[in-house]
Amino acid sequence: MKKINVLLMGFLWVVSIGAFAQQTERNHFAEMESDSLYIGYSKTTTIVFPYTIKSVDKGSQDVLAQKAKGMENILHIKAAQQGFDQTNLTVITADAKLYSFVVNYDEESPQLNLSMDKVKSKSPEIYFSEQSDNEEELINYSKLAFYHKNKIAGAMKKKYEIKFQLNGIYIRDDILYYKTRVVNNSRINYDIDQLRFFIRDSRKIKRTASQEIEIIPILTHNYLSTINGESEGTTVFALPKFTIPDKKHLVIQLMEKNGGRHIELQLKNTKLLRLTVLPKL
């Protein structure tokens, strides 16, 4: 009887160890598949999606997100503010898949590279921007907007001896052309980290994160990475046609690289309707 008890205890011990090992393995797998994302302020997190990114929606302005230049399926993310509260990020890709992330702040150990491919490969496929049939047309209309003299009154903000203004809005064939101007009246060069367009709630309900929908330019004409001291620069952004819903406004955000001279233009729909139709080329 004693021998049977010993064998039974041994069997139960082996089963319990196996169950524990399986549970540990399941927990590890769940952690790898988690939708949690950890980002930092001084480091950029890069996410590679299996298909072209069509939409990016952030739960907070404390998170910066933009597609890599010339890459259609790569998203760069970093914190705009240190120690921000937990928020969310939603990305929709061309294959109609929705990716949802819970975004957390972690300056010490942020995730630097993440591939969303179902089968993790050592070298995920990269999608470069295609040369569309109408790209030459977009470039020509961007140049036309660049040299157009029409201006929008009141769409300007000045801080830190930097003047940031929206000089004009133009439209042709359901494409909007936004012309921005940056004037650096200081003696310190202004290095541009990001210039972004997004729709934001006009009123933020207490204890509720404001929702942002980023509008990603189709094409950029005369993009400048640096505005030298006591100089200026003008850029035209071609954007897909959009309107502003009630209780929301458009934000054009200028961010300085490795600096704090950030400026935002906040524009209501009434001002955005003051656009000029470009003549057909």
Quickly list DSSP for 23-88: HHHHHHHHHHT--EEEE-SSS-EEEE-SS-EEEEEES-TTEEEEEPTTBSSEEEEEESSTTPPPEE
Is the model's pLDDT at 146 over the cut of 50? Answer: yes
Residue 87's pLDDT band (cuts 50, 70, 90): very high
Among 162, 156, 222, smallest CA distance to 188 is for 162
Report the pLDDT value the prediction gives residue 203, as an integer from 0 to 100: 66
Q: Which residue has the higher pLDDT, 28 or 115?
A: 115
Report the pLDDT value the prediction gives residue 47, as an integer from 0 to 100: 92
Is the model's pLDDT at 210 over the cut of 60? Answer: no
Name the average pLDDT for the chain: 78
- Residue 41 structure tokens: 């302020």
Q: Mean pLDDT, to the nearest integer, of 107-135?
A: 62
- At 246-277, the pLDDT tens digits run 788 899 999 898 888 999 998 887 777 788 89
Task: Confirm if 67 and 2 have CB atoms less than 8 A apart.
Answer: no
Report the pLDDT value the prediction gives residue 232, as an integer from 0 to 100: 93
Distance CA 197, CA 211 (A): 14
Predicted model pTM: 0.56
Phi, psi of 85 (to 5 degrees): -75, 155
246: CB partners within 8 A, 6+ apart? none
Is the model's pLDDT at 117 over the cut of 90? Answer: no
Q: Which residue has the higher pLDDT, 117 or 12?
A: 117
Is the model's pLDDT at 224 over the cut of 70? Answer: yes
Report the pLDDT value the prediction gives residue 217, as an integer from 0 to 100: 86
Report the pLDDT value the prediction gives residue 171, as an integer from 0 to 100: 92
Among 124, 50, 132, smallest CA distance to 93 is for 50
Is the model's pLDDT at 177 over the cut of 90? Answer: yes
Among 90, 93, 88, smallest CA distance to 72 is for 93
Residue 213's pLDDT band (cuts 50, 70, 90): confident
Q: Which DSSP category does 148 fall into?
A: -
- At 182-196, the pLDDT tens digits run 999 999 999 998 898
Dmax over CA atoms of the chain, in Å, equals 100
